[in-house]
């Protein structure tokens, strides 16, 4: 009998099916694994060198580039298009990429700049402000060194120090720069809001200043009544009717003055502001009867304690910086003092301490917001503050000097009372009055980073003798200011009639 071997097909079929299933699952897993991979390389945009150690992240998945700058990121869900791949590395601007490519080449841009600032003799200059104009600024250390992080691609650098000419440069692809600052003693004069509305008159003064050897111009951007030039207007100044159009754009005026070699200063009157008080009577300095206080010039004042009045003026100052001014000069940054016929009422009880805190608080905020924009700050103070600590207006120059770059006491001889500095009639002694008052200011600010730069009298005496202030009187004040240790000076004549008839001392 012949027997046939029975063939058992069942297990083989099952094995084949299982193998196919495994291959399908493995294939699917392999496909999904391959589909979740993004590979690439990261390079320095400027040098084209590979960047090792750069962090590559997608959601919670991350890896780092190797010595060749290459990476492989596994586990990316490419269907989640709203979740980008983020690539970061120290001293480089981060970059985000979509997940729609398997192989990518990334160029990271360096976003740091370091350097050293020195003077003409090669000595390092500490406490110099280095700003990018993009709200990024640092100060140099004792060795004149600085390091900026997060700088923009098209960087314009402004280097600012009191007593030196503002230095501007575009470093391009440089990561380290050596900067030499040129000393500059400011010799300037003031041009009023009204004069600036008459370009011919303004240009005549500017040309006269240039011919006389002056190097700075002070322009009103917000005057004693609260009017604002339209180029620096805010939405609020426009709403209250404070913004005025000038015949020539302010920015064009500033640019032209800079082309002529002038350092350009914006004068901004702060708390004397009838227009803003009219729009916001709740912010006014008031009398005991609840009425707005009115000074000798029939003008009203803002309460220096109110943050809203700070914000209004700081917004205007920031716009001035963006227009291109080198410096913002704050005037009437004090509590009122004239024609006070009744007790004045503020939003806080006034003491010498909280008055000073208000003034210095405003100036501290101003510098914190303006310095990163690449401008210097300064403040006009009463001449009497050079010799007295508190005269009831909140101006303590030692505290003010901690918050600005220049302190400008108004040492006009005509403003001093008989008997000041043992003088029977101070306007008759312009040299001695300026010498002694500026000396006191310089002594009091010794060791402060702020510099003393006085306002000098270029208008005729309004006292009983009515002494004419022409070139001899102006020259005497300039000599006195220089001998007293001031870093420059500015001349004040609201009418713009400057007697500049001789060579500068």
For residue 352, the number of C-alpha atoms closer than 13 Å in the C-beta half-sphere is 7
Judge whether residue 18 has pLDDT over 70.
no
Question: What CA–CA distance (Å, rounded) separates 427 from 438?
Answer: 15
Specify the pLDDT at position 14: 53
Specify the pLDDT at position 12: 59
Widest Cα–Cα separation across the chain: 156
- pLDDT, tens digit (0-9, with 9 covering 90-100), for 273-285: 999 999 999 999 9
The segment(s) of the chain belonging to CATH 3.20.20.80 are 187-492
- pLDDT, tens digit (0-9, with 9 covering 90-100), for 32-67: 444 589 999 999 999 999 999 999 999 999 999 999
C-alpha distances out from residue 131 to 11, 60, 113, 138, 174, Å: 80, 36, 11, 7, 16
State the average pLDDT over residues 475-490. Answer: 97
Specify the pLDDT at position 100: 82
User: Average model confidence (pLDDT) for the chain?
Assistant: 91
CATH superfamily, region 112-180: Carboxypeptidase-like, regulatory domain (2.60.40.1120)
Ramachandran bin of 496, using left for φ above 0, alpha for ψ from -120 to 50, beta for the remaining angles: left
Judge whether residue 11 has pLDDT over 70.
no
Cβ neighbours of 300 (radius 10 Å)? 25
The domain 35-108 is placed in CATH, from the list 3.40.50.300, 3.50.50.100, 2.60.40.1120, 2.40.50.140, at 2.60.40.1120
Specify the pLDDT at position 35: 55
Percent residues over pLDDT 90 in the chain: 77
State the average pLDDT over residues 67-72. Answer: 95
Question: What CA–CA distance (Å, rounded) separates 386 from 381?
Answer: 9
Residue 73: enclosing H or E segment and its boundaries?
strand 70-74
**3 state DSSP class of 312:** helix
The segment(s) of the chain belonging to CATH 2.60.40.1120 are 35-108, 112-180
H/E/C letters for each residue in 100-148? CCCEEEEEECECEEEEEEECCCCCECCCCEEECCCCCEEECCCCCEEEE
Q: Which residue has the higher pLDDT, 131 or 270?
A: 270
**3 state DSSP class of 366:** helix
Judge whether residue 341 has pLDDT over 90.
no
**3 state DSSP class of 336:** coil
Domain 187-492 has CATH 3.20.20.140: no
pLDDT band for position 133 (cuts 50, 70, 90): confident
Judge whether residue 264 has pLDDT over 80.
yes
Q: What is the pTM of this model?
A: 0.83
Judge whether residue 5 has pLDDT over 60.
no
Specify the pLDDT at position 61: 92
Specify the pLDDT at position 9: 55
Residue pair 104/38 in contact (Cβ under 8 Å)? The answer is: yes
């Amino acid at each position: 009998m012949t027997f046939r071997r029975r063939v058992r097909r069942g297990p083989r079929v099952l094995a084949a099916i299982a193998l196919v299933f495994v291959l399908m699952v493995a294939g699917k897993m392999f496909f999904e694994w391959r589909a979740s991979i993004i590979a690439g390389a990261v390079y320095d945009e400027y040098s084209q060198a590979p960047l090792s150690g750069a962090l590559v992240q997608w959601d919670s998945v991350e890896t780092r580039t190797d010595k060749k700058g290459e990476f492989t990121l596994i586990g990316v869900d490419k269907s989640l298009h709203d979740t980008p791949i983020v690539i970061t590395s120290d001293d480089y601007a981060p970059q985000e990429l979509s997940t729609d490519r398997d192989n990518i080449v990334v160029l990271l841009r360096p976003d740091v700049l370091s350097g050293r600032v020195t003077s003409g003799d090669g000595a390092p200059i500490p406490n110099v402000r280095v700003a990018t104009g993009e709200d990024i600024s640092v100060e140099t250390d004792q060795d004149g060194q600085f390091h900026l992080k997060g700088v923009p691609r098209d960087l314009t650098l402004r280097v600012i120090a009191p007593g030196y000419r503002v230095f501007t440069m575009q470093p391009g692809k440089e990561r380290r720069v050596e900067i030499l600052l040129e000393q500059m003693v400011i010799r300037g004069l003031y041009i009023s809001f009204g004069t600036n509305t008459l370009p011919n008159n303004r240009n005549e003064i500017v040309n006269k200043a240039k011919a006389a050897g002056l190097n700075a111009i002070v322009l009103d951007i917000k005057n004693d009544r609260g009017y604002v030039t339209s180029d620096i207007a805010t939405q609020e100044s426009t709403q209250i009717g404070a913004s005025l159009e000038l015949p020539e754009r302010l920015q064009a005026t500033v640019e032209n003055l800079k082309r002529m070699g002038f350092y350009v200063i914006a004068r901004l009157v702060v708390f004397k502001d009838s227009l803003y008080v009219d729009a916001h009577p709740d912010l006014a300095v008031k009398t005991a009867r609840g009425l707005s206080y009115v000074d000798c010039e029939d003008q009203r004042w803002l309460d220096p304690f109110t943050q809203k009045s700070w914000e209004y003026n700081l917004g205007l100052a920031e716009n001035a910086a963006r227009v291109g001014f080198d410096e913002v000069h704050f005037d009437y940054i004090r509590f009122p003092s004239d024609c006070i016929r009744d007790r004045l009422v503020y939003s806080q009880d006034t003491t010498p301490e909280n008055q000073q805190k208000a003034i210095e608080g405003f100036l501290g905020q101003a510098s914190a917001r303006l310095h990163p924009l690449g401008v210097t700050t300064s403040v006009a103070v009463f001449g009497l503050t050079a010799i007295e600590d508190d005269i009831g207006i909140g101006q303590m120059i030692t505290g003010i000097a901690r918050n600005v770059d220049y302190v400008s006491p108004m040492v006009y001889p005509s403003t001093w009372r008989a008997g000041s500095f043992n003088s029977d009639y101070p306007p008759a002694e312009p040299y001695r009055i300026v010498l002694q008052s500026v000396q006191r200011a310089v002594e009091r600010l010794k060791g402060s980073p702020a510099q003393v730069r006085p306002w000098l009298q270029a208008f005729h005496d309004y006292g009983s003798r009515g002494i004419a202030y022409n070139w001899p009187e102006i020259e005497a004040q300039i000599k006195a200011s220089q001998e007293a240790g001031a870093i420059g000076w500015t001349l004040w004549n609201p009418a713009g009639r400057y007697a500049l008839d001789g060579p500068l001392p």
